[in-house]
Structure 1
Amino acid sequence: MSKARLVIMAVVVEKRPVAEVVAQYGVARSWVYELLARWRAEGEAAFEPRSRRPKSSPRATPGVTVELVLRLRKQLAEAGLDAGADTIGWHLRHHHATVVSRATIHRILTRAGAVTPAPGKRPRSSYLRFAAEQPNECWQSDFTHYRLADGRDVEVISWLDDHSRLALHVTAHRRITGQTVVTTFRETVARYGIPASTLTDNGMVYTTRLSGGKGGRNGLETELRKLNIVQKNSRPNHPTTCGKVERFQQTLKKWLRAQPAQPATIADLQTLLDQFVDEYNHRRPHRSLPHRCTPAAAYTARPKATPTGDRAGEVHHRVRADRVDHTGVVTLRVNGRLHHIGIGRTHARTHVILLIHDLQIRVVDAATGELLRELVLDPTRDYQPTGRPPGPAPKRSR
């Protein structure tokens, strides 16, 4: 039984003096009279617990601000953009001259049922974050698939600055090839300068280091070596190493899904990609950047990094087993391009070993060890014609 009920029973039923009840139960006389008045007015409801919440709260967030927070949440979500408390706070501060703390915005969203609880989600503080100190210190790249409105599958390649998260290049293609990677990289370099390093996954369009030595350097690897750019690749099955560009692609696809009409052609898709890049770089605050600034602001805030190493002395060795075809030719891929090396019909269907030292190539009979051909490959030509056999030149008769 509650103390309030005991007090009322002692005064009303037992007819005991108020002073005696106050002394016995150690309560204030004013509270006893207040309780009696409430009991006479409400009956049994007088014994229910009462809220201690004040009738007014001068420091409460104004209703106009609450409505603005909820409206921004709805607008950003419908546009396919980030609509978290940090982003809403940035828009309030920069576009509405209103400062509201992140915690207050989160409470407003939670009370309105606009936040989906995720108790099992790993907290952001548990991740080890790595970011380049300067713009152009490291560029990340990856490509992703996208299905057009007519059901055709296309691919979108992205180049992203690791320091500022600036979207340097985003284009759609029917299919991403090694040449596509080289072409987009050159276009990005022409606009933003030469980076100090690149970071990608182990896709064959980016590197051949997992090909078992069969492919040689591809086009991108050759381009990076020529410009003295350090090439970094993630370990297999570790996509979080390239997490920034992976996360960028998620943001891009979320924005595309929110558009009223899905693109039907690559040209339509490219128009949308250009709109997104402009929004992402210049008008969308990035929560991972200092002061929640835009990627464009972060990219221009510091001096740009440049290549510091010298890779000119790096030599690429590989050994490749093959067989001369029926026309007397063996093929070899160099810098992402397939070349045909003439050996001679005399050696058709002969099993050979190719000893490759950059562009210096020796073709040896796998069974006898005889040197069949030695040449310096001309990377500008597809077919490498048969020259004179190795050894001293024959004497010319008079």
Structure 2
Amino acid sequence: MARIFTRAGLVIPEPRKKPHSAQKRFVYPQPNACWQIDATEWPLANGKKVAIFQLIDDHSRLALASLVASGETSEAAIAVVSLAIERHGVPEKFLSDNGAALNPTRRGRTGALVEYLKSQGVEPITGKPGKPTTQGKNERFHFTLHRYLRKQPPPATMAILQTQIDTFDQYYNTEREHQALPGKQTPQEAWLATPKTPAPARPDPEANKPEPPHSKQRRVRKDGRVSVLGTAFNMGNDLAGTAVHIIHDNATITFFDAHGTEIITHPVPVHGTRYIGNGKPSGVAADPRGARSKRTKYPPRKRPESTTTKEVSTES
């Protein structure tokens, strides 16, 4: 829409209003300093949608590996990352969104991909929830892939789609000049122009060996919370007043109800964490009708009418 108005001459350019930060593109200084992963959907010829995982290097924009999968799962994410590590080495950092298949740490849970990355010495990082621009380079990569796939015959199978994407990655890396790279380099040229970041050291398995689990009993408070390890965990108002059994070590903490059914499992929170929710909506978002009824349960008291009366003149 902005381009239409501009072409029509209805927009007055004011370049001085553009902040200096808008002219700078953040990029890591070396290849393998940070990788980015994200998944996008694409339909097969029969209309069935599949997931495409795309993994790129932040510095060079090199397409490290791509994988077609039946869905956005942690198993598929680990497979594409393992393939990229086999080809290009181990990165220092790894950026993703907060999806359950990628990095659900901000949701109070651990993930299979996160644990795999940590075992390789990689630091998993995520963007803030609701801020997709953090993964903007990968989102732009999706757009370029979609434009290419629209020109190809509809793939009948996932294997055919994988072949199309492999051909695209080869062209993208070695032939297509990238507008975001200095001198319009190809990603392969940018990858080779700068030494790679050294691979991180793998953690000592003995240092992270789980300690013997501890067991506790707690009663859920009226607000649906239980405090343990200095942190209040939200169990939900439906469990208020009930007893819960807690088992934790130096890695995870798990809550069970009185029948032994698991309620929820969290990574052990960082020291100083005051509260961890249960991932469910609360308040108006959870029960708009109930929230309104609480507000209207006690209607505002009417102001009493004044008992003073005005004198009425009897004079004619």
TM-score category, normalised to shorter length: 0.5 to 0.7
Counterpart position of 1:219: 112
Distance 1:130 1:315 in 2: 37
User: What residue ranges of structure 1 are gaps of 5+ in the alignment?
Assistant: 1-115, 323-349, 368-398
How far 1:363 sits from its partner (Å)?
Answer: 8.4
1:355 to 224, 231, 248: 248
- Contact kept in structure 2, 1:230 and 1:309, CA below 8 Å: no
Counterpart position of 1:197: 93
- Residues 1:240 and 2:133 aligned together: yes
How far 1:364 sits from its partner (Å)?
Answer: 8.4
CA deviations on 1:284-316 (whole Å, 9 max, x unpaired) are: 000111110110111111111124477555799
CA-atom RMSD, angstroms? 3.5
User: What is the one-letter code of the residue matched to 1:210?
Assistant: R
How far 1:169 sits from its partner (Å)?
Answer: 0.5
- Contact kept in structure 1, 2:119 and 2:202, CA below 8 Å: no
- Contact kept in structure 1, 2:91 and 2:200, CA below 8 Å: no
Counterpart position of 1:275: 167
Counterpart position of 2:142: 249
Counterpart position of 1:289: 181
The range that moved more, 171-180 or 125-134, is: 125-134
How far 1:117 sits from its partner (Å)?
Answer: 3.9
Aligned-partner SS, 2:37: strand
Classify 1:257/1:321 alpha carbon distance in 2 versus 1 (closer, same or farther; 3 Å): farther
Larger radius of gyration: 1
Aligned-partner SS, 2:67: strand
- Number of residue equivalences: 220
CA deviations on 1:244-264 (whole Å, 9 max, x unpaired) are: 1110011000111122x2212
Counterpart position of 2:58: 162
Classify 1:187/1:351 alpha carbon distance in 2 versus 1 (closer, same or farther; 3 Å): same
TM-score of the aligned structures, taking structure 2 as reference length:
0.61
- Residues 1:299 and 2:191 aligned together: yes
Distance 2:76 2:19 in 1: 35
How far 1:356 sits from its partner (Å)?
Answer: 3.2
Identity between Structure 1 and Structure 2 (%): 34
- Contact kept in structure 2, 1:356 and 1:362, CA below 8 Å: no
Distance 2:254 2:144 in 1: 50
Distance 1:136 1:291 in 2: 21
CA deviations on 1:62-110 (whole Å, 9 max, x unpaired) are: xxxxxxxxxxxxxxxxxxxxxxxxxxxxxxxxxxxxxxxxxxxxxxxxx
Classify 1:278/1:118 alpha carbon distance in 2 versus 1 (closer, same or farther; 3 Å): farther
Distance 1:124 1:278 in 2: 36
1:187 to 59, 79, 83: 83
Counterpart position of 2:48: 152
2:121 to 211, 218, 228: 228
CA deviations on 1:95-134 (whole Å, 9 max, x unpaired) are: xxxxxxxxxxxxxxxxxxxxx9497799897354111111
Classify 1:223/1:201 alpha carbon distance in 2 versus 1 (closer, same or farther; 3 Å): same
